[in-house]
Amino acid sequence: MELAGTWRKVMPFMAMIFLQFGYAGMLLVSVASLRQGMSHYVLVVYRNGVAAIVMAPFALWFERMERIKIKERRSLAKIAGTAITVCGALLMILVKGPIVMFPWSKHVSQAVSDSSVHNSGHWLLGIIMILLSCFSWSGFFILQSHTLKSYPTELSLTTLICALGAAQSAAVALVMEHDMKAWSIGFDMRLFTAVYSGVMCSGVAYYVQGIVIKERGPVFVTAFSPLCMIIVTILGSVILSEVIKLGR
């Protein structure tokens, strides 16, 4: 009994650390696929579609006698963890420090590090989009926490989120992506990215986040977001030879 109680206390921490590694992997493989020419609109559609297809059978099997319990409509919007994360993101955007040289990145030249200067015209738009993404992502945690109080079925909720996400992103992609060739993928990195990000970072992630949110609340989940940044920084430098600077 004591061991079970200890595991129950440790499990949320282990689950969130596991998810941060999953998110870090998604960011890395997504960068690799986008560099190969994959449309980011199409990637979002495939990601949500794969997640909905994978999670739907589990939802139907484990939650098909499921009853909706209507509880009092009350939600505590705790955003302290998210606020810290956003402030950290702003610091990285606004502060540009020297290049951080790792033992494995000494071969990276200064010319490569300055190659992004040509894209500085979209800098302000990028900041706005990142901030909107942070606020939307934090709002999603709070909304998920509130929804699980009246709809306590993580698998079914995950399936609905992914299915609606696939439909909405498909509508946007059809408007923004006029080249139909962008929808064709083979057995390459693009297919791996769609499957991995869909299963791991949409299906499994939303389900695990729902369980942890019910156990510890939305602030606990968002508190682990900076860990993903650290993982991506290290792996990005090792795998993709990304140039890492203090700050930006």
DSSP string, 34-69: HHTT--HHHHHHHHHHHHHHHHHHHHHHHSTT----
Any domain includes 2: no
Residues 6 or more apart whose Cβ sits within 8 Å of residue 4: none
| pTM of model > 0.75 | no
What pLDDT shows up at residue 96? 65
Would residue 5 count as lying in a domain? no
Q: Is residue 1 part of a domain?
A: no
pLDDT at 208: 86
The answer to whether position 4 is within a domain reads no
Q: Does residue 7 sit within a domain? A: no
**Residue ranges making up the domain that contains 151:** 14-64+75-247
Distances (CA, A) of 45 to 26, 171, 178: 15, 9, 15
Q: Are 246 and 98 in contact (CB under 8 A)?
A: yes
189 in a structural domain: yes
In a domain, 85, yes or no: yes
Q: Do residues 237 and 246 touch, judged by C-beta distance below 8 A?
A: no
Paired residues of 93 in beta bridges: none
CA quadruple 152, 156, 158, 163: dihedral positive or negative? negative
Find the angle CA(43)-CA(167)-CA(191) to the nearest 5 degrees. 25
pLDDT per residue as tens, the chain (248 positions): 566 677 777 888 888 888 888 888 888 888 888 888 888 888 888 888 888 888 788 777 766 564 444 455 544 454 565 566 666 666 665 666 666 666 665 555 444 444 444 455 577 777 788 778 878 877 888 888 888 888 888 888 888 888 888 888 888 888 888 777 878 877 888 888 888 888 888 888 888 888 888 888 877 887 787 787 778 777 777 776 677 666 55
Instruction: Give the number of domains in the chain.
Output: 1
What SS3 state is found at 126? Answer: helix
Longest dimension (CA), the chain: 61
Flag whether 83 is in a domain.
Answer: yes
Distance of CA 230 to the CA centre of its chain: 14
